[in-house]
């Protein structure tokens, strides 16, 4: 019995000791291998060198073209112009010819011999007024006086109270081309009556050729 127990004990010890010894041997081998590898210096290959191309040379400076020579030219001397003969711009009397008028009104328009309204000329409408801007200004005064007298004699508007401005076109033969309201009186009925009265006017004096239209005329109406 003792011999069998001894064998069993040895078998048990062998089962424990042999694997342990194998593990120890493996660990020692691994440790040595690691130390041997660390002791060997590894050679690292240097990185390859890339040769860079040299920069291109700077461009040559541009040659500036020579400046052209400036030549002075003599300016021609202007010849003096002969003085034009002065025009006579003496103001002429503005008249309204009519049998029912006498003296002069608030517009500085004197009474004539009858037969229509005249401005510095005969009642047949011939233009004998001064030239230039005076003739145009004189005709503007003529229009203001004529239109104001016309509305005072027209029953459609002479009983109305208003203050308005109109634009009027007069043709070369003296006929009224058109009349429109430039500044309203505030009363549509008065505006319409005023335009109708002026559009029905008889032929006026012929305007000077240089007169610009439309002409702007301020008019007033008063109750009778």
**pLDDT tens string 100-155:** 444 444 334 444 433 333 333 333 444 444 455 788 999 999 999 999 999 999 99
Domain count, the chain: 1
Residue-level pLDDT, tens digit, the chain, 224 residues: 577 777 777 778 777 878 888 888 888 888 787 776 555 555 666 666 776 777 788 887 777 777 777 666 666 666 656 554 444 444 444 444 343 444 444 334 444 433 333 333 333 444 444 455 788 999 999 999 999 999 999 998 988 999 999 999 999 999 999 999 999 999 999 999 999 999 999 999 999 998 999 999 999 987 54
Asked if residue 216 belongs to a domain, the reply is yes
Asked if residue 21 belongs to a domain, the reply is no
Asked if residue 43 belongs to a domain, the reply is no
Asked if residue 72 belongs to a domain, the reply is no
Asked if residue 111 belongs to a domain, the reply is yes
Alpha helices in the chain, H assignment, sequence order = 2-39, 133-153, 188-199
Asked if residue 201 belongs to a domain, the reply is yes
Q: Which residues of 32-43 are buried (b: 16+ CB within 10 A; e: fewer)?
A: eeeeeeeeeeee
Asked if residue 211 belongs to a domain, the reply is yes
pTM of the model: 0.43
Asked if residue 167 belongs to a domain, the reply is yes
Show the domain range for 152. Answer: 94-221
């Amino acid at each position: 019995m003792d011999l069998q127990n001894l064998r069993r004990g040895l078998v048990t010890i062998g089962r424990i000791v042999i694997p342990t010894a194998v593990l120890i041997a493996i660990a020692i081998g691994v440790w040595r291998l690691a130390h041997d590898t660390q002791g060997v210096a590894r050679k690292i290959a240097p990185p390859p060198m890339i040769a860079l191309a040299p920069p291109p040379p700077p461009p040559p400076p541009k040659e500036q073209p020579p400046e052209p020579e400036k030549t002075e030219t003599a300016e021609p001397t202007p010849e003096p112009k002969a003085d034009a003969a002065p025009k006579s711009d003496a103001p002429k009397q503005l008249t309204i010819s009519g049998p029912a008028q006498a003296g002069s009104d608030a517009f500085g328009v004197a009474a004539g011999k009858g037969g229509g309204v005249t401005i510095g000329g005969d009642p047949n409408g011939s233009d004998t007024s001064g030239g230039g801007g005076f003739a145009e200004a004189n005709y503007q005064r003529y229009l203001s006086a004529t239109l104001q007298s016309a509305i005072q004699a027209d029953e459609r508007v002479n009983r109305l109270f208003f203050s308005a401005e109109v634009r009027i076109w007069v043709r070369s033969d003296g006929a009224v081309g058109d009349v429109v309201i430039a500044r309203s009186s505030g009363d549509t009925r008065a505006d319409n009556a005023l335009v109708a009265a002026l559009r029905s006017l008889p032929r006026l004096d012929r305007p000077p050729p240089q007169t610009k239209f439309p002409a702007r005329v301020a008019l007033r109406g008063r109750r009778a």
